[in-house]
Amino acid sequence: MALLFVTDFDDPRDWVPALKAEMPGLEVRVWPDLGDPGDIVYALAWNPKPGLLASLPNLKAIFSLGAGVDGILADTTLPADVPLLRMVDDSLTRGMVEYVVLQVLDWHRQGPSYRGQQRKALWRPRRQKLARECRVGVMGLGELGRATAQSLAALDFDVAGWSRSARTLDGVSCFHGSGQGFGQFLARSDILVCLLPLTADTAGILGGKTFSRLPEGAYLINAARGGHLNETDLLAALGSGQLAGAALDVFADEPLPRGHPFWRDPRITITPHVASVTHARTAAKSVAANIRRIEAGESLENLVDLKRGY
């Protein structure tokens, strides 16, 4: 029984020992050294080359190295009868909570303005709102969105969340669906945080129409996928003042090309897709637990619904 580790990003020097520690009997092969493809029954992958997974005849399951599976689902040859499992891991969740709380607090406590003043040696205290006067809207109330919304609520922000189906969450006003609920949610989001999966329904959702429904001068935090954002619309909304700024961790084209206008825009804070990362030591435990379930014929956790796309 062999597992193929397929990624250009995650380090096999972390992952191979972490997987072996959980499952000493598991043979781990590191792509592109496939050996006999017939031996491979599990794949642990991040953005595999299209066709690679379909070329493995005895696959029992595909594990995503990330929470988002858009990079795997982009492969149109993906075998439809092999279960796809996404990454759910507490360290990934905590990392995202830290990132969003950092960006929300930085904006709320006027970090960009004070850094601008520092560059000019200006000592100019500004009026500071209370956290409860700041309305944050979290798009996506899944593993990451729920924990993030609740951590912001614990800091006394006025938090709402938005999901596809109806949800309830202590201390968070919940909205759902693409109709009225979405409009009401946007109208009360001074800071809009995107933690949605990238699917046919959510691609381009951070565009001019959405921005126009936010309070004027809102702030955008996109820690989900670059495909959610219409970049031209963002620049237009910043230009008109409809949006006052944005913190972006993900981009349509990664790495963000050197000549991209976002790099030079002082209203935009850029991080290189690091909002949260999967830690091998903890995440290998959840992969191993699911392998044990498969081998025991038990039902799986974190199964992706291929029709919904997440």
Q: Is 142 in the site for ligand NDP (CB under 6 A)?
A: yes
Q: Is 167 in the site for ligand NDP (CB under 6 A)?
A: yes
C-beta of 108 vs 146, nearer to ligand NDP: 146
Q: Is 273 in the site for ligand NDP (CB under 6 A)?
A: yes
Q: Is 68 in the site for ligand OXD (CB under 6 A)?
A: yes
In whole angstroms, give the CA distance from residue 25 to residue 264.
51
C-beta of 68 vs 161, nearer to ligand OXD: 68
Q: Which of 237, 202, 204 is nearest to 219 (CA)?
A: 237
Q: Is 273 a catalytic residue?
A: yes
C-beta of 71 vs 112, nearer to ligand OXD: 71
Q: Is 140 in the site for ligand NDP (CB under 6 A)?
A: yes
Binding-site partner at residue 197 among ligand NDP, ligand OXD, none, CB < 5 to 8 Å by type: ligand NDP
C-beta of 208 vs 227, nearer to ligand OXD: 227
**Cβ burial, residue 112 (10 Å; 0-12/13-18/19+):** middle
Binding-site partner at residue 143 among ligand NDP, ligand OXD, none, CB < 5 to 8 Å by type: ligand NDP
C-beta of 66 vs 207, nearer to ligand OXD: 66
Pick the piece of the chain touching ligand NDP (CB under 6 A) from 5-13, 60-68, 113-121, 283-291. Answer: 60-68
Q: Is 95 in the site for ligand OXD (CB under 6 A)?
A: no
What is Dmax (Cα atoms) for the chain? 68
Residue from the set 67, 73, 152, 229 that interacts with ligand OXD by CB under 6 A: 67
Closest residue (Cβ) to ligand OXD?
Answer: 66
In order of 42, 93, 242, 270, the CA distances from 62 in angstroms are 6, 21, 42, 32
Catalytic residue selected from 29, 146, 225, 228 = 225
In whole angstroms, give the CA distance from residue 310 to residue 303.
9
Q: Is 163 in the site for ligand NDP (CB under 6 A)?
A: yes
Rounded to 5 degrees, what angle do the CA atoms 192, 196, 199 make? 135
C-beta of 76 vs 168, nearer to ligand NDP: 168
Pick the piece of the chain touching ligand NDP (CB under 6 A) from 2-10, 53-61, 126-134, 137-145. Answer: 137-145
Q: Is 131 in the site for ligand NDP (CB under 6 A)?
A: no
Task: For residue 274, give both structure tokens.
Answer: 């690091």
Task: For residue 157, give both structure tokens.
Answer: 């922000």
Indicate which residues carry an active-site annotation: 225, 273
Task: Give the interface with ligand NDP as residue ranges (CB under 6 A).
Answer: 66-68, 92, 96, 140-145, 162-165, 167, 195-199, 201-202, 223-225, 249-250, 273, 275-276, 310
Site residues (CB under 6 A) for ligand OXD?
Answer: 66-68, 87, 278
